[in-house]
Amino acid sequence: MREQSKLIRSQTTRSSNREHSVPLYLTSSFVFDNAEHGRAMFADEVEGNLYSRYSNPNTSEFINKIVEMEGAEAGLAFASGMAAVFASIAGLLRSGDHIVAFRSVFGSTHQLFTQLLPRWGITTTYVDASKPEYFEKALRPETKMVFLETPSNPGLELVDLEWLGRLKKKHNFILNVDNCFATPYLQKPIEYGADLVSHSATKYMDGQGRVLGGVVVGRADLMKELMFFIRHTGPAMSAFNAWTISKSLETLTLRMDRHCSNALKVAEALEKNQEVEEVRYPHLPSHPQYELAKRQMKQGGGVVTFTVKGGFERAKIFMDELKMILLTPNLGDSRSIATHPASTTHSKLSDEERAQIGIYPGTIRISVGLEDLDDILEDIFTALKNSI
Ligand SMILES: *Cc1c(COP(=O)(O)O)cnc(C)c1O
């Protein structure tokens, strides 16, 4: 079967009730056939479900879909995207290890690198990824991992995955990519040599702003080490969330096509507007890495970032003038969302740090939803006009 069909048709074994749609397995533990089976399960001699902190039919189904899509060997599901990102680092590194990371990372990932991991002796060096050579310059003998997001949030800067895949062949590090913004439909980092791919499933995978979730997929040996970490620290995804997200994946590619076509039209229209200073969208020819975006991403994604003339004061009026689009710190929802990164998701950074990653006082991030394009455009451009 091809990708879209697999997303719809892969499911856990049908029970004796012969259900068509996958049922929700709300059970903490699973029954052993007999005492010998219990011993063998705990000794890892046989496969199967034992306890829902370890595995559950709903989480396994969800994981299998992402493993297939990303072209990975194995995967694990988590309670949230941050639990996934944290485990993909803390489950593999130890005190004294060093990370080289693209400086434009998700807000909580930034707190993890700068405030939390140093407590356990894991340090991070940030690099500007406009030239991939910067990653090589920052490598040290103790560098165990290179971590990045592409495209980044909210600056929509890209990292050249092919170049990094080649760098990895020369140096021995784990290449860990947060692929949340692109989804495996638009971009498959493992094809370029990534060892691990993490996601916040809260975003496009659920796609309707209902549940939190995370997933890490990649090399089987690394997943085995991570499995040990999560079994004994407990950040497992709930069966309910796995069931919800697995159902949503049936429409992932359809939804992404619409997110992307709406977002491209919004970006093109914003670029023509006098009140807008700068528009960022990977598949706009004016994007500084347009060629790379065309090569690396099937479509430009669902997020558009732009900067209004007149700074924060103007941005505030614009956001308060929006009628349909609401202000909330999420993205990847079927409903369009507006966010002001400098005062919310990236408020912990200094003005200088923000400017380096393309966030100015007048910058607004729109997660373009699935509504009728004309309604989205009308809301944005009426609010822009009323903010003058
Ligand atoms: C939202 C997000 C996360 C964190 O995911 P949660 O599910 O909110 O914990 C991590 N990385 C990126 C790029 C995100 O957008």
Please state, in angstroms and rounded to a whole number, the distance separating the CA atoms of residues 360 and 155. 10
Residue 12's pLDDT is 84
Written as one string, the DSSP assignment of 114-143 is: IIIGGGGT-EEEEE--SSTHHHHHH--TTE
Please state, in angstroms and rounded to a whole number, the distance separating the CA atoms of residues 296 and 306. 22
Cβ of 148 less than 6 Å from ligand 1: no
Peptide bond into 154 cis (omega under 30): yes
**Residue 372: pLDDT above 90?**
yes
Residue 251 CA from chain centroid, whole number: 17
Please state, in angstroms and rounded to a whole number, the distance separating the CA atoms of residues 261 and 196. 29
Average pLDDT over residues 225-232: 95
* Residue for token pair 């099937």: 298
Average pLDDT over residues 174-189: 98
Residue 337's pLDDT is 98
* Residue for token pair 């919310």: 344
**Residue 45: pLDDT above 90?**
yes
Give the chain's domains with CATH numbers.
3-251 (3.40.640.10), 252-386 (3.90.1150.10)
First to last CA, the chain: 53
Summarised one tens digit per residue, pLDDT across range 293-308 is 999 999 999 999 999 9
Residue 198's pLDDT is 98
What global pTM score does this model have?
0.96
Q: Find the 47 Cα to ligand 1 centroid distance in Å.
A: 31
What residues does 125 pair with on adjacent strands? 100
Cβ of 88 less than 6 Å from ligand 1: no
Contact at 8 Å (CB) between 214 and 77? yes
**Residue 311: pLDDT above 90?**
yes
Average pLDDT over residues 69-87: 98
Summarised one tens digit per residue, pLDDT across range 136-154 is 999 999 999 999 999 999 9
Cβ of 82 less than 6 Å from ligand 1: yes
Residue with the nearest Cα to atom 6 of ligand 1?
81
Cβ of 358 less than 6 Å from ligand 1: no
Determine the residue of 111, 203, 212, 345 to mutate for testing ligand 1's pocket, defined as the one with the most ligand atoms within 8 A of the Cβ atom. 203
**Residue 129: pLDDT above 90?**
no
